[in-house]
Amino acid sequence: MNEVDPIVAAQALSEIGYLLRQDPDQKFRARAFSDAAWAIAQERPDLAELHRAGVLKSLPGVGEGIARVLTELVETGHSRYLDRLRAETGQPSREDESTLDMSGYRGDLHSHTKWSDGRATMLEMARGAEERGYRYLCVTDHSPRIKVVNGLGPERLLEQSKEMAEVQKQVDGLTLLQGIEVDILEDGALDLPDAVLEILDVVIASPHVKLRQEPEAMTHRMLRAASHPHVDLIGHPTGRRPGSREGATYDFEAVFKEAAKHGVAVEIDCDPARMDLSPEMARLALECGCNFAVSSDAHSPNEFAYVPMGLWMARRAGIPPERILNFQPLEELTILLHR
């Protein structure tokens, strides 16, 4: 009997969900695997004990098929179903995968609150990060452009900074950082003035709309964002939602090289609906010299569990912890952000 780490099991289920999502016909099955992964990442049950008692199916979202995968993980530490899906989708295991785990993960750099489209207050999010033992949390609500998310302009950002100072007093050992997830406009300009971006701790530039621009215009748009002096990282670089929305296509190599040149990191967004990049693209970005952020893009505290679920992508891409911002102590992170 194998004492399988529930986080390792959650990552296997999460990767299966990701691979199934590539096939639109498997959408529901994909979601079932992602949901079970999320439940396990949050509750961290003793899987070997549940297996011994024959009650793996008592876990939320775990039916016959998922229970079979869990049983094999408990008994052998391995899933032949995952291996088969990897082979079928042309993504076999590789020798040079890294051995990343959550032990060195210090904090999340991409999260939302009720200030924009999040479902929790800043205090609730801060307490959630504190409970996970994070040393820092960056609050990155949206910029004003997309009206439905109630994005923040300069005045509300100033108000938000006052609330942050108050919340900071109520948490222990956790440093709050104020950031923004600023929209990359069609021409590559950003949705807030430089004078505002300059004073924020972290600037994530993300593409949200007009993702299907033709590749040449999209390349220009992304190059401009990747070379902007105040941008720290490119959020969910293609904007895709596997199985439901195709993402942007552009000259990824050129954009990753430009990002690397300017010290701009690229993000692995662990929201199971996104999982953007992909292992192959993350590998390309690594070869281009980029640093990375591995983010939850959490809209509520329980969604912080997306990171332990999604970390498999960075491992499969062979990214070592020293190339990931979230694995740096706060002092080191601050230096990297104010390069």
Residues at the contact surface with Zn ion, assessed by CB under 5 A: 181, 206, 297
**Please, which residue, 183 or 258, has the CB nearer to Zn ion?**
183
**Please, which residue, 108 or 297, has the CB nearer to Zn ion?**
297
Inter-CA distances, 67 with 30, 49, 86, 88, 173, Å: 15, 13, 20, 22, 38
DSSP per residue over 9-56, as a string? HHHHHHHHHHHHHTSGGGHHHHHHHHHHHHHHHHH---HHHHHHTT-G
**Please, which residue, 85 or 277, has the CB nearer to Zn ion?**
277
CB of residue 272 vs Zn ion: minimum separation in angstroms? Answer: 14
Measured in whole angstroms, how far is the alpha carbon of residue 272 from the centre of its chain? 9
158: CB partners within 8 A, 6+ apart: none
Strand order in the sheet with 233-234: 107-108, 136-142, 175-183, 202-206, 233-234, 265-269, 292-295
The token pair that represents 40 in the structure block: 């396990």
**Please, which residue, 11 or 206, has the CB nearer to Zn ion?**
206
CB of residue 190 vs Zn ion: minimum separation in angstroms? Answer: 14
**Please, which residue, 72 or 297, has the CB nearer to Zn ion?**
297
**Please, which residue, 140 or 328, has the CB nearer to Zn ion?**
140
> 252-261 and 215-226 helices cross at what angle (nearest 10)?
10
CB of residue 247 vs Zn ion: minimum separation in angstroms? Answer: 12
CB of residue 206 vs Zn ion: minimum separation in angstroms? Answer: 4
CB of residue 118 vs Zn ion: minimum separation in angstroms? Answer: 9
CB of residue 187 vs Zn ion: minimum separation in angstroms? Answer: 19
Measured in whole angstroms, how far is the alpha carbon of residue 194 from the centre of its chain? 26
Give the SS3 label for residue 287: helix
Cis peptide before 277 (omega within 30 of 0): yes
**Please, which residue, 34 or 206, has the CB nearer to Zn ion?**
206
Q: Please state, as a whole number, how many other Cβ atoms lie within 10 Å of the Cβ of residue 234.
A: 27
CB of residue 285 vs Zn ion: minimum separation in angstroms? Answer: 18
